[in-house]
Amino acid sequence: MIRLFTRYVRTHLSLIALLLVTSFTASTISAAPDPIVSPARVIHTALDKITTFSSNSDKVNPVKLRGFIENEIIPHFDFDNMSHWITGRYADNMTAKDKSEFQRNLRETFLSSLAKHLGSFDAENTRVKFYPPRYRSQGEAFVGTSIYRPDSMPVRLDFRMRRDGDDWKIIDVKANGSSAVLYYRRHFIAQLRQYDRPPVVPVQRMPPPRLR
């Protein structure tokens, strides 16, 4: 776990690894539930689910592990928004089918990586400190945390959130300043470069000259 943690911090942590090094403790929640879910509570909820699941035997069952991630963790992320930022200018030359396929690949990469590492997550020896949310606007916020483990240096995680109706979705995570979205962009850059071409402009044929 230490080797996994160190490697990702040094090479722009993926969104998956960020969740693996976090934990939820009941003492960190002090506010009552809000009528509209706050961005901080979304993070609390996601980490609570991960900690609870990682403490039971189901985490070693591949089918139950994948089902847990699909049903309980994936819905907290906005893959539409993440795909938009990762594809960037390449999206101009992507068809709707291309974009849909890319988002499926991103989601599957995310899910597979989390499933691969979640089994080794040590919730008992991990402590998290939450900071008050910072709002860029009514529809965007940042939830900061610090992660403490006895065998490693503290890590600062900042979750970037976007309002989605009465809910908040995660659109990026930074670990000590390293963005997960930028990490994924580098991960998929070879695939995206196939769309680095000028758009095709239809050739307009001139009408034949009129004979007098």
CA distance 162 to 140: 5
What tokens appear for 65 in the block?
Answer: 């592990």
In a domain, 133, yes or no: yes
Higher pLDDT, 191 or 62: 191
pTM of the model as a whole? 0.73
Average pLDDT for 145-162: 88
- What is the total count of domains within the chain? 1
CATH of the domain at 120: 3.10.450.710
| Cα 199 from Cα 100, distance rounded (Å) | 19
Confidence at residue 48, expressed as pLDDT on a 0 to 100 scale: 82
Neighbours of 204 (CB within 10 A): 6
Query: Tens digits of per-residue pLDDT, 104-123?
Result: 999 998 888 777 767 666 67
For residue 204, tell me if it sits in a domain. Answer: no
> pLDDT averaged over the chain?
77
Report residue 25's pLDDT band, with 50, 70 and 90 as the boundaries. Answer: very low
Q: What DSSP string runs through the chain?
A: -HHHHHHHHHT---HHHHHHT----GGG--SPPPSS--HHHHHHHHHHHHHHHHTSGGGG-HHHHHHHIIIIIGGGB-HHHHHHHHHGGGGGG--HHHHHHHHHHHHHHHHHHHHHHHTT--STT-EEEE---EEEETTEEEEEEEEEETTEEEEEEEEEEEEETTEEEEEEEEETTEEHHHHHHHHTHHHHGGG-SPPPPPPPPPPPPPP-
For residues 144-157, average pLDDT: 87
121 belongs to a structural domain: yes
Domain assignment present for residue 212? The answer is: no
What is the structure's pLDDT at 134? 93
38-55 pLDDT tens trace: 898 888 888 888 878 877
Between residues 162 and 26, the one the model is more confident about: 162
Please write down the HEC assignment for all residues of 83-101. HHHHHHHHHHHCCHHHHHH
Whether 201 is in a domain gets the answer no
Quick one: pLDDT at residue 21?
39
- Which one is predicted more confidently, 102 or 38? 102
pLDDT band at 27 (very low <50, low <70, confident <90, very high): very low
Residue 38 domain flag: no
Average pLDDT over residues 74-89: 92
Judge whether 210 lies within some domain. Answer: no
Q: How confident is the model at residue 189 (pLDDT cuts 50, 70, 90)?
A: very high
pLDDT beyond 70 at 87: yes
Q: Which pair of tokens denotes residue 205?
A: 């044929």
User: Would residue 20 count as lying in a domain?
Assistant: yes
Residue 58: pLDDT above 90? no
Residue 57 structural domain: 2-26+44-194
Per-residue model confidence (pLDDT) at position 47: 81
pLDDT of residue 15: 39
